[in-house]
Amino acid sequence: MASTTGATSGLTEAEGEACIPVNASEQIEFCFTRGWTDGLPVVPATRALVNDMLEGGGLRPETVIAEMPSRKVSVTAEKVAINAVMAGCKPEYMPVVSAAVKALAAPEFGLHHVASALAGPTIVILVNGPIAKKLGINAAGNLFGPGVRANATIGRALRLVLLNCLKYSPGISDRATMGTPGKYTCCIAENEEDHPWEPWHVERGFNREDSTVTLVAANTMIQIWNYGNHEQLLRSVGDALSYLGSIAILGQTPGAVVLGGEHAELLRASGWCKKQVREFIVQCTGRSVADLKRTGRVDGDVVSDDEVTLHYAMDTPEDLMLICAGSPIGALSMVLPGFGSSKTAGRSPAILIDAPR
């Protein structure tokens, strides 16, 4: 387990070897005492397991996966591999974890704003392309729930990288007031086989045969239950994206909607394209300035014009991300309202997954 010690704690290899217990249960407790866990037990990262993980990603230990100027850190493949082992990943998951770490470094994501804020958003890993099916990443029922190793451990690996490599420690640099369960792990795939439109990564300019990772910072998750027609459904989505207590409504940060199977079929039958759906939803996010003032979101006394002047949750319809995933049964979808006060923070570009042939 010397690799874990040297790469995550700053100890030299020799210092690490001198203080690491041999017994597996003691190694797990050792990780707890060092602050290397997310509060759950981790897999002790032996040299053999780390080497297997690096081989799974086709990576050399010293390869720099991402530069993090805001943290003054270079994250190497070995460090990513160590945390992937501790999270319980299989070696074949390593290319996805590496791509997710690259996405953390994208300026558009606004890492420090996302990882250190009081709002404590969930960082959702969205996987697109053939690799999702190959690895068994869940895109169907219980999408955000437990039960699938790939989803659980890939999401957890990214959290451990944030904790151990980038030092976003709860209560110190991670200053979340409440946090969310999604801060443990949150990784999903898009259902691309039963989809009314082109999948997310194709929309972003990739080929359908490419595999990508996109990170989305979600202020919260709001489940939508609606058996109405497509316009009634989209009105309820707009309402969820613009609730008056949302931390994002004033900053107009990009949001996302994960459409479940029945809702995706409803929109397919409507004949509406993504552009029409986005425009309709964003028009339904308008809140009167009067309501914003009454709830203290905007300062000042309510004047007559405030009752008819609307503020929208997003700047443009293009700020709304549409994803299809979840069970084909149940008129349910998930709304991920935007995060924070920055119009650019909270979503990474789609990052190509570089998997070994």
Q: Distance between CA atoms of 113 and 346, rounded to whole angstroms?
A: 8
Residue 189 sits at the vertex; the CA angle it makes with 130 and 270, to the nearest 5 degrees, is: 100
Distance CA 132, CA 287 (A): 38
Spatial distance between the Cα atoms of 335 and 226, rounded to a whole number of angstroms? 13
Q: Is 193 exposed, middle or buried (0-12, 13-18, 19+ CB in 10 A)?
A: exposed
Q: Residue 267 and residue 195: Cα distance in Å, rounded?
A: 10
pLDDT confidence of residue 342: 61
The pTM of this model reads: 0.93
Angle in degrees, 0-180, between the axes of helices 261-270 and 230-241, rounded to the nearest 10: 120
In whole angstroms, how far apart are CA 236 and each of 137, 259, 313? 29, 13, 14
In the chain, beta strands by DSSP E:
64-68, 73-76, 122-128, 187-189, 212-218, 222-225, 255-259, 287-288, 310-311, 320-324, 332-336, 351-352
E strand residue ranges, 152-198: 187-189
Would you state the pLDDT for residue 20? 61
User: Which of these, 131, 126, 139, 132, lies nearest to 325 by C-alpha position?
Assistant: 139
- Give the C-alpha separation, 235 to 238, whole Å: 5
Phi/psi at 108 (5° precision) = -65, -25
Helix or strand or coil: residue 193?
A: coil
Report, as ranges of residue numbers, the positions in the chain whose pLDDT lies below 50.
1-18
pLDDT at 6: 46
Domain-by-domain residue ranges, the chain?
Answer: 220-338
Q: Which residues pair with 324 in a beta bridge?
A: 259
| Phi (first) and psi of residue 312, to 5 degrees | -105, 150
Say what the pLDDT of residue 341 is: 63
